[in-house]
């Protein structure tokens, strides 16, 4: 009996001693104030998450207007794009998705083509898809321009009718580098600019260098073709007017325009896309150019650079581009996403660790310093999605979808969750603020 009591007292005193020593240790050097490390709590399932069986998914985009979720697949899959219909609550309509095989010219032979980016028009049921072909091996020669001359990078699909229709295929030729594994593709909020990847132009020595920029869109949602007397890629072109057409009027305008273009094509008149593009030191000869676009407004866009992120202030002749290098250095792996309501951008480093970086921008320029959250035992595979009404951020990871709570300034709170999904590499997720639903492509049903 006595021996038991002594043992209890030792245990009690030992616990006090341990707590005391812990206090001494805890008073030592603290973590840097900008860094937060959290362990996510398991929470499966999450009621607002809809998993979609779409194997090898790399891109996804949801349209509340079209009532559809588009999923772009990795290269060498049976389909390039799958379209899932949504019901009025945003749930996936049962049944097989509509699948799309993207067109390519016969001259490219067996070289596979693949999706690089997708975006829905915010007001019309139009899906923009950017495609490319498999890159040459590093030591191989570039793709023969003759074989890719008729390869259209931009495809515009319409879901206005029951069937999906390809309404336009364009963006071909030497203005776009052919043979890229990736690249940024984004539509601005007013749907006047379609930011596209891997543009190129000759330098003073007539050597092609990479460029960044956008194609102009008309109010009907179709690209603008330059008038015969117009320089197609003037930087200081007037800003296009945002769409004021209602969907039926836009559809009528598109039909008329497409008929005219068809006539012009038959008559052998060249159609040249109106675009704005610029060359920067950062992207000289470097692809993808860029890996990611995040348009803020008509004057400012954020992009990923190989070593971090950069701002492009279009009206600023003096400080046009500003690069913010990020550590750790993982070239070409950074992906960014804007907070829809706050001047905040989030950056993930793909297939590296569970790090998410938050930065603020002001007038389009990156400002102050990053805040970082590191999710323990997580490897991120996707850009983030901000779940606006939930004040949370979601990211695709190694077999999970992870959520991190945000405060009113979009800063990370020390609380995160993870939901197990049947996908070892969740490369894409899509959020609908209307349906308050997060769509997560998975390999198969559980």
Partner 1 sequence: MISIRSVVFQGLILACYAAPAVARTIVITDADCERMAAISSEAPRLGWAGAAYTTAEYGNSAIYITQKSAFLIVYPLDRIPPGQRIVKAEWTVPYLQAFPLATGSRIQVRRILQEWGPGVSHLYRMTRPQRLEWHTPGAHGAGQDRSTKATAVVTIKGTGEHTFNVTEDVELWYTGAVPNFGWLLTADDPDSFFNMHSPFWNGAKGFKLRITYEPQ
> Could you list the residues that contact partner 1 (CB under 8 A)?
10, 13, 16-17, 20, 24, 29-30, 32-35, 280-282, 307-308, 310, 313, 316-327, 343, 360, 362-363, 365-369, 371
CA–CA separation, 225 and 76 (whole Å): 33
Residue number with CB closer to partner 1 (35 or 87): 35
Q: Find, among 387, 392, 421, the residue nearest to 404 by Cα.
A: 392
Asked if residue 305 lies in contact with residue 366, where contact means CB atoms within 8 angstroms, the answer is no
Least separation in angstroms between CB 30 and partner 1: 7
The 3-state DSSP class for residue 387 equals strand
Of 110, 199, 200, the C-alpha closest to 147 is 110
**To the nearest whole angstrom, how small is the minimum distance from the Cβ of residue 391 to partner 1?**
20
Rounded CA separation 402/38 (Å): 12
Beta strands in 41-134 (DSSP E): 41-42, 49-53, 57-63, 68-73, 81-85, 98-100, 113-120, 126-133
426 vs 435: CA distance, rounded Å = 21
CA distance linking residue 181 with residue 324, whole number of Å: 24
Of 158 and 304, CB closest to partner 1: 304
Give 159 or 301: the residue with its C-beta nearer to partner 1. Answer: 301
Tell the smallest beta-carbon distance from residue 395 to partner 1 (Å): 22
Distance CA 399, CA 426 (A): 7
206 vs 317, which CB is nearer to partner 1? 317
CB of 418 to partner 1, least distance (A): 27
Query: Which two tokens mark 351?
Result: 């297939």
**Backbone angles phi and psi of 209, in degrees to 5:** -125, 160
Q: Which is nearer to partner 1, 53 or 314 (CB)?
A: 314
Q: Report how far apart the first and last C-alpha atoms of the chain are (Å, whole number).
A: 55
Task: Quote the CA–CA distance of 431 and 416 in Å, as a whole number.
Answer: 18
Find where tokens 């950074």 sit: 334
At its nearest, how many Å lie between partner 1 and the CB of residue 377?
23
Smallest gap from residue 282 Cβ to partner 1 (A)? 7
Q: How far is the CB of 309 from partner 1 (least distance, A)?
A: 10
Closest approach of Cβ 342 to partner 1, in Å? 10
Cβ atoms 376, 394 nearer than 8 A: no
282 Cβ partners below 8 Å, 6+ apart? 305, 306, 310, 321, 323
- Taking alpha carbons only, the member of 223, 201, 250 closest to residue 153 is 223
Residue number with CB closer to partner 1 (64 or 278): 278
Q: Are 208 and 187 in contact (CB under 8 A)?
A: no
The CB-of-389 to partner 1 minimum distance in angstroms stands at 23
Cβ at position 298, least distance to partner 1 in Å? 16
HSE, side-chain direction, 13 A CA sphere, residue 424: 0
Start-end of H helices in 156-267: 247-266
Query: Nearest to residue 82, comparing CAs of 400, 430, 338?
Result: 430
What lies within 8 Å, CB to CB, of 59 at 6+ separation is 70, 71, 72, 115, 117, 118, 427, 428
Nearest approach, Cβ of residue 324 and partner 1 (Å) = 5
Least separation in angstroms between CB 27 and partner 1:
9
């Amino acid at each position: 009996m006595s021996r038991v009591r002594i043992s209890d007292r030792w245990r009690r005193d030992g616990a006090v001693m341990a707590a005391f020593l812990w206090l001494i240790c805890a008073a030592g050097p603290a973590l840097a104030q900008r860094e937060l490390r959290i362990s996510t709590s398991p929470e499966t399932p999450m009621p607002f998450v809809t998993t979609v069986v779409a194997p090898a998914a790399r891109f996804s985009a949801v349209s509340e207007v079209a009532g559809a979720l588009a999923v772009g697949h990795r290269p060498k899959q049976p389909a390039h794009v799958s379209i899932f219909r949504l019901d009025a609550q945003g749930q996936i309509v049962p049944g097989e998705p509509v699948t799309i095989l993207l067109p390519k010219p016969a001259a490219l032979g067996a070289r596979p083509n693949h999706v690089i980016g997708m975006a829905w028009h915010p007001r019309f049921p139009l899906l923009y898809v950017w495609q490319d072909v498999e890159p040459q091996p590093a030591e191989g020669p570039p793709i023969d321009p003759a074989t890719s001359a008729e390869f259209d990078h931009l495809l515009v699909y319409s879901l206005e009718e029951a069937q999906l229709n390809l309404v336009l295929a364009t963006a071909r030729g030497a203005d776009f580098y052919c043979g890229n594994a990736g690249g940024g593709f984004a539509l601005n909020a007013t749907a006047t600019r379609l930011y596209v990847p891997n543009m190129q132009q000759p330098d003073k020595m007539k050597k092609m260098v990479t460029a960044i920029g956008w194609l102009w869109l008309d109010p009907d949602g179709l690209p603008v073709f330059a008038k015969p007397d117009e320089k197609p890629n003037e930087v200081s072109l007037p800003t296009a007017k945002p769409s004021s057409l209602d969907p039926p009027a836009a559809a009528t305008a598109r039909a008329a325009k497409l008929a005219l273009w068809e006539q012009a094509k038959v008559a052998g008149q060249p159609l040249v896309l109106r675009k704005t593009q610029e060359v920067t030191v950062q992207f000289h000869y470097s692809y993808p150019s860029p890996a990611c676009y995040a348009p803020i407004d008509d004057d400012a866009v954020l992009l990923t650079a190989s070593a971090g992120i950069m701002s492009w202030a279009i009206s600023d002749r003096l400080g046009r581009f500003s690069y913010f290098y990020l550590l750790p250095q993982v070239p070409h792996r950074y992906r960014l996403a804007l907070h829809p309501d706050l001047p905040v951008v989030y950056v993930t480093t793909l297939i590296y660790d569970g790090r998410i970086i938050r930065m603020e921008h002001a007038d389009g320029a990156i400002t102050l310093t990053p805040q970082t959250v590191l999710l323990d035992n997580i490897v991120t595979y996707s850009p983030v999605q901000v779940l606006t009404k939930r004040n949370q951020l979601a990211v695709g990871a190694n077999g999970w979808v992870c959520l991190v709570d945000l405060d009113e300034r979009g800063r990370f709170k020390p609380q995160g969750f993870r939901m197990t999904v049947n996908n070892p590499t969740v490369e894409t997720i899509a959020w609908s603020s209307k349906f308050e639903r997060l769509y997560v492509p998975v390999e198969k049903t559980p």
